[in-house]
Amino acid sequence: MPRLVMKFGGTSVADIPRIRNVAAHVKREVDAGHDIAVVVSAMAGKTNELVGWCADTTPLHDAREYDTVVASGEQVTSGLLAMALQAIGVAARSWQGWQLPIHTDDAHGAARILDVNGPELIRRFKERGEVAVISGFQGLHQESGRITTLGRGGSDTSAVAVAAAIQADRCDIYTDVDGVYTTDPRVVAKARRLPKIAFEEMLELASLGAKVLQVRSVELGMVHNVRILVRSSFEQPENIDPHGIPPGTLICNEEEIVEQQMVTGIAFSKDEAQLSIRRVQDKPGVAAAIFGPLAEANINVDMIVQNVSADGLTTDLTFTVPAADYARASDVLAQSRTRIGYERLDGATDVAKISVIGIGMRSHAGVAAEAFKALGQRGINIRAITTSEIKFSLLIDEAYTELAVRTLHALYGLDKV
C-alpha cells in the first residue's frame, strides 16, 4: 500500500474541535488506501508555556530536565488524536519518541536524529493495520535512556525522518497557511504561494528566518529525497479529493521546476544582534584573536564587515550574532580586550536581517545592487551585507523590516500575480 506521513503543527491541533478535524483529514487518506503515520506537535502555545515554566523555575536549568518538561506537550496531542481517530472508526495507536524509538544524539534541547526504526513501523502497519500517531519533537538518547527534543519547530524534522525511514510516497506538512509563500504572508499581504520550491532555496529561506519548516527537516528531505508538501489543515477534509493533485507547495529538486524565477523568496529575521569593535590594530592574527574565543564559546558569527576606522590607521570590525547570544558575546569580547587590542565595543539588538533568495541568481549579476539602490531611495541604511551563490542578506534597522521586505518584494516582481 502507498505510505504517507501527515504532520500537523500546533495551530492545527490547538483544541479538541481541531483535533477532530485532523482526524477527518487522516480518515480521508486511510479510506483512500494509504498506510498512514501521523506526526503531531503540541497544542499552539503549549511549548512556549513549558519553556517559560523551566525558565521561571531556574534560569540555568539542566538541559535533560528541560527536555523532560518540554517533550510533554506532544504526548497529550498524540493520545488525543489516537482517541479521536478511534471514535470515528479508524484503528490508531499513539507512539512517543522513546517508544518508537526515534534515536538521537545527546544534544539536549537541539538533538539530531540518528535513526528511526522504519522496518518496525512498516511491520506494524502490516500486522496491526493501525494508523501510527507519533509525537513529534521527541527523541531518545539510547546510551543514557533519556528523552531528548529536537529544537523549536522540530516536529517537521520528526515527520521527514519518519517519511525517509518508511520510504513514504510523500510527507505532507499541514499547517496554518496553505503553502510556502514568496515571503511571510502575515507580514506582506501581496505574498504569493509558490507551487514548487527547490530544496536549496527552501533551505536558505528556512535558515534565514521563514519558520514554516525547521531547517533540519529540509536538510533531511534533501539528503533522502523525500517529497515534502506544505499544505493547509484548515481546508475542509470533505472538499479534498484524495486521488487528485493536492493543493500546496511541493519542495522538490531543482530540475522539477520548469519556470525558474531569478528571485524566489524573501526571508527576514529580527533575532539578530550587531557587534562593532572599534579601532582594532590592522595586523595579522587579529581576526583569529576575535573570532577564536567566540567559536570556543559556541557562538555563531554570521555577517562580517571590516572597514577603516575614522582615524585612518586602525580598522573597525562589525559582525552579527544571534540575539540570544548577544550578552555572552559581549562578555567574551570584553574578556579578550587586551589580547585583541581595541578601543571600544559597540552593539545593537534593534537590527534585522533581510535575505533575498533565488537559484536564478547563479546566472544573473547585479541582483543585489538593485536592492541597495531601492532601499537607499527609501532612506534605509544598510549596516552589513553578505552574499553567496543563491542569496544575499542585508542588515538594517529593525524598525524598517516590513518596509524593506515590501520594497524588495515589489522590486523583484514577486507582487505580480
CB of 157 to ligand ADP, least distance (A): 11
Could you say which of ligand ASP, Mg ion, ligand ADP, none residue 14 binds, taking C-beta under 5 to 8 angstroms by partner kind?
Answer: none
* 211 in contact with ligand ADP (CB under 6 A): yes
CB of 303 to ligand ADP, least distance (A): 21
Q: Which is nearer to ligand ASP, 152 or 190 (CB)?
A: 152
CB of 321 to ligand ASP, least distance (A): 22
Residues 6+ apart with CB under 8 A from 255: none
Among 47, 78, 135, 183, binds ligand ADP (CB under 6 A): 183
* 175 in contact with ligand ADP (CB under 6 A): yes
Could you say which of ligand ASP, ligand ADP, Mg ion, none residue 210 binds, taking C-beta under 5 to 8 angstroms by partner kind?
Answer: ligand ADP
Query: Containing H/E element for 95?
Result: strand 92-95
CB of 75 to ligand ASP, least distance (A): 11
Residues 6+ apart with CB under 8 A from 65: 54
The one-letter amino acid code at 407 reads T
Cα separation, 166 vs 131, whole angstroms: 13
Determine the interface stretch with ligand ADP among 102-110, 117-125, 179-187, 312-320 (rule: CB under 6 A): 179-187
Could you say which of ligand ASP, Mg ion, ligand ADP, none residue 154 binds, taking C-beta under 5 to 8 angstroms by partner kind?
Answer: ligand ASP
Alpha helices in 239-390 (DSSP H): 286-296, 326-335, 337-340, 367-377
Q: Which is nearer to Mg ion, 9 or 179 (CB)?
A: 9
Nearest alpha carbon to residue 80 among 29, 17, 124, 25:
17
* 73 in contact with ligand ADP (CB under 6 A): no
CB of 123 to ligand ADP, least distance (A): 29
Contact positions vs ligand ASP (CB under 6 A): 9-10, 41-42, 47, 73, 136-137, 152-156
Buried residues in 183-215 as b, exposed as e (16+ CB within 10 A): bbbeebeebbebebbbbbbbbbbbbbbbebbbb
* 94 in contact with ligand ADP (CB under 6 A): no
Contact positions vs Mg ion (CB under 5 A): 9, 153
Q: Is the peptide bond before 101 cis (omega within 30 degrees of 0)?
A: yes
* 180 in contact with ligand ADP (CB under 6 A): yes
Alpha-carbon distances, residue 69 vs 74, 96, 218 (angstroms): 11, 14, 26
Determine the interface stretch with ligand ADP among 69-77, 82-90, 176-184, 355-363 (rule: CB under 6 A): 176-184
* 412 in contact with ligand ADP (CB under 6 A): no
Coil, strand, or helix at residue 133?
strand
Q: Dihedral of CA 228/234/235/241: which sign?
A: positive
Cα separation, 198 vs 336, whole angstroms: 43
- The answer to whether 42 and 81 are in contact (CB under 8 A) is no
Q: Which residues bind ligand ADP (CB under 6 A)?
A: 9-12, 41, 153, 175-177, 180-181, 183-186, 205, 210-212, 265
